Structure 1
Amino acid sequence: MSVDEGKLNELLGSFVADLGGAYHAISAVIGDRLGLYRALLATMPASAAEVAEEAGVGERYALEWLRGQAAGGYITYDAATERFSLTEEQAFALAAPEGLQLAAAFHIPVAVGKNVERLTETIRTDGGFGWHEHDPAMFEGVERFFRPGYVANLVSSWIPALDGVAQKLDRGANVADVGCGHGASTLLLGASYPRSQVTGFDYHAPSIEQARKRAADTGLAGRVSFQVAAAADFPGTDYDLVAIFDALHDMPDPLGAARHVREALKADGTLLLVEPFANDTFEDNMTPVGRLYYGASIVICCPHSMTEEPRAALGAQAGEARLTEILNEAGFTRVRRATETPFNLILEACP
């Protein structure tokens, strides 16, 4: 075997970064759980002792956590004063209650890791592993990771990009949010368009229970409701808008779900389909974002889709062309890319 030392060192560099990232994910989850990012924000520029006191943790642990976070570029260290702080960007990304809450995203792979043996067997036997079988930290992490993106884009960009939908919602529309999870998108629609009636549907009963609690806590229970139902048979007809956020590719039968949506819409209704950003060829998805989605897809998206026939397993990098093909087959005659972000494709589909 002839090994190019330069290429080997390049690969080892990627390996060290990835292995460090795996430990960093665990550290970020611990910091998020213990409020260490918030404690630093409240006391900065801070010593380890001050962060530890604010968060109520041991000082030695706080110091090691702070050093690791600084080494990873998530917080800032001043060698002259031996104090730690957050830049405005770091604070917005990690500590601010209404910021990006990036640390929440690490709950997802950590939750996956709790079932690594079962997932390994699932993949070995070409089986399925349902969304409901994941550790509850998965559901929390997904909601907290996706919600800031919905807050930043749904009302200001995605809805206005649809033909005439914003006006319908302002006047009062009948809306279904399919695969709603904890209801972050559903509640945002309800809060933004008070004349509309919004119903969130999800097959996962514990998520619906949590969504109902959120609706009550935010005072939206009067115009936002939640029901346990699958995408292929959720109740109701004559919807002005049906929305599916980051969920169609996970479904065992996305074509069947799309057909049911088509039947549930009014003749002039609209499907808002938000999916992970992907190009139509694998070569064009060999990017950091593509890598993220492929990694999530093999342990979350494909296993759930493989739980029932026809086991479509679109994966998180389905791409616009494949999604459009499915929507056309389901009876949608007009499908277009309404807009996009670095992480999402936003498709508009009409009967």
Structure 2
Amino acid sequence: MSTETSVPSTQPTAPESAATAPPDATPAIDMDALMAFVFRAVDEVGATLNAALVVLGDKLGYYKDLAANGPTTPAELAARTGTAEPYAREWLNAQAAGAYLTYDPPSGRYTLPPEQAIALTVEDSPAFLPGFFQIALGTVHDVDHILDAARNGAGYGWHEHVTDVHVGCERFFRPSYNANLIDAWLPALDGVVEKLQEGALVADVGCGHGASTVLMAQAFPNSRFVGSDYHEASIATARRRAADAGVADRVDFQVAPAQALPGSGFDLITMFDCLHDMGDPVGAAEQVRRALAPDGTWMVVEPMAGDHVEDNLNPVGRAYYGFSTLLCTPASLSQDVGLALGTQAGPARIRDVATAAGFTRFASVAQTPFNRVLEIRP
């Protein structure tokens, strides 16, 4: 061992760069920031559990009972809904802790504020939310399948998910269609309403339970509609919905994938919140191009998104990226091609799909906080 000692240099030493820093160097920890994140995560766990609680309250009739009867005790809620009081009590407490309900300690009563009552009980309100929670809960239910798919690069089909996914999807989007489709979105398309009033041929591709198809058929009795979806169970529901609405004489629902769109010469072809789920959206767009009349219109309604990741770093984008990871991207990867556009594809990527299929005109014509409406023409 050397007996030499080193002499400290009198010259200033430059700070180590990130490239030369010791490999075991760790950044300083801001304990306040750490604990703030921990408590934010606790809130996230509560929110995750609350998705199940909202679905529970919706299915057990708790919200509607509170809206109808005002300030309520757990015993009263349980008695009126035919449920066990311990469950009603703990559910009420959880809802009060999350500010879905208010609690009055002197009386021991819980109240559903009027604003929450609209969002949680009025199914034809565009603010209606239980369907959103229902599709979220159903999506999370199937996470084990997504774990396997992520490891092997496979997909998981829409038809493979639990029923809450299919039912919740319609319950979430239908109020927005009811509020906007006839009075705002269709009028935003050049000359389409006039054609529908006179009598047009319309295809609603990826129609699911047929909410959009039935709505258009009710508004435009002179037109004829073909709704199609590859999910047989959804088409069976759509046929019942058309019969119940009294429009079965002008609506034909068929089991068919987008690439096998039945018929041709359509004046209007619509896709509501489904193009990004398709394995081969370009192939579907090419089929739309072939099936449209020369002066026809392709209306694409997609989840609201910007073209860049940073455009979507907001509450709506966060929810949609979650659905994209667990639901929409696996659905696309389960099909041929598996392009996996993602729920937050944005208008530029949809334009690329349309252009690849031979369309030449593309415009964003309407939007809501949850949807963007695109007009695509040959």
For normalisation by structure 2, the TM-score amounts to 0.90
User: Aligned partners of 1:77 and 1:168: how far apart in 2?
Assistant: 54
RMSD: 1.3
In the alignment, the residues of structure 2 paired with residue 331 and residue 14 of structure 1 have an alpha-carbon distance, to the nearest angstrom, of: 48
1:154 matched to 2:176? The reply is no
1:112 corresponds to which of 136, 139, 157 = 139
Which amino acid is 1:343 matched to? F
SS in 1 for 2:188: coil
Report the counterpart of residue 212 of structure 1 in structure 2.
239
Structure 2: gaps (5+ residues): 1-25
Deviation at 1:79, TM superposition (A): 3.4
| 1:160 partner SS | helix
Secondary structure of 2:170 counterpart? helix
How many residue pairs align between the two structures? 351
1:29 matched to 2:49: no
Q: CA shift at 1:328, angstroms?
A: 1.3
Displacement after TM superposition at 1:88 (Å) = 2.2
CA–CA separation in structure 1 for the residues paired with 2:218 and 2:320: 30
Deviates more, 1:192-201 or 1:4-13: 4-13
Quote the offset at 1:18 in angstroms.
Answer: 1.1
Query: Which residue in 2 is equivalent to 1:90?
Result: 116
Look up the equivalent residue of 2:53 and give its one-letter code: S
* Corresponding position of 2:6: none
1:59 maps to which residue? 85
SS in 2 for 1:98: coil
Q: 1:270 Cα shift?
A: 0.5
Distance in 1, matches of 2:329 and 2:244, equals 34
User: 2:226 matched to 1:199?
Assistant: yes
Q: Deviations over 1:30-76 (max 9, x none)?
A: 11111111111121122222221221111221121112112212223
Residues in 2 aligned to 1:68 and 1:193: alpha-carbon distance in whole angstroms: 46
Which shows bigger deviation, 38-47 or 105-114? 105-114
Which of 51, 62, 68 aligns to 1:42? It is 68
What SS does the corresponding residue of 1:235 show, helix, strand or coil? coil
What's the counterpart of residue 278 of structure 2? 251
Gaps of 5+ in 1: none
Residue number among 246, 250, 257 corresponding to 1:223 in the alignment: 250
Q: Which residue of 2 aligns with 1:73?
A: 99
- 1:140 is the counterpart of 2:180: no
**Could you say which residue in structure 1 is the equivalent of 2:337?**
310
**Which amino acid in the other structure matches residue 202 of structure 1?**
D
C-alpha offsets along residues 183-234 of structure 1, whole Å, 9 cap, x if unaligned? Answer: 1111111111111111110000010001111111221111122100111111
- Structure 1, residues 2-50: CA drift from partner, whole Å, max 9, x if none? 3111221222132112111111011111111111111111211222222
Q: Is the 8 A contact 2:130 2:171 kept in 1?
A: no
| Preserved CA contact (<8 Å) 1:211 1:226 | yes
Shifted more, 270-279 versus 66-75: the winner is 66-75
What amino acid maps onto 1:79 in structure 2?
Answer: P
Could you say which residue in structure 1 is the equivalent of 2:289?
A: 262
**Alpha-carbon distance between aligned partners in 2 of 1:45 and 1:67, rounded to the nearest angstrom:** 14
Show CA shifts across 1:242-301 (max 9, x none). 000000001000000011011111111101100011111112211111111111001111
2 CA distance for matches of 1:47 and 1:160? 48
Structure 1 stretch displaced more, 95-104 or 298-307: 95-104
Alpha-carbon offset, residue 122 of structure 1: 0.5
Q: Among residues 189, 193, 199, which one is paired with 1:166 in the alignment?
A: 193
Q: Which amino acid aligns with 1:235?
A: P
Inter-partner Cα distance in structure 2 for 1:291 and 1:75: 25
* Conservation of the 8 A alpha-carbon contact between 1:32 and 1:104: no
Match of 2:351 in 1: 324
In 2, are the aligned partners of 1:52 and 1:59 still within 8 Å (CA)? yes
State the distance in 2 between where 1:193 and 1:37 align: 35
Higher Rg: 2
Match of 2:302 among 261, 275, 280: 275
Distance 1:140 1:46 in 2: 30
1:90-117 CA-to-partner distances (Å, cap 9, x unmatched) read: 1110012433431222222221233222
SS of 2:187's equivalent in the other structure is coil
Q: Work out the CA distance in 2 between the residues paired with 1:197 and 1:49.
A: 52
| Secondary structure of 2:222 counterpart | coil
Q: Aligned pair 1:103/2:123, yes or no?
A: no
TM-fit CA distance, 1:80 = 4.2
**Partners of 2:139 and 2:367 in 1: how far apart?**
28
Aligned pairs (5 A) from 1:116-131: 116-131=143-158
Letter in 2 for 1:57: T
**How far did residue 332 of structure 1 move?**
1.1
Identity across matched positions, percent: 48
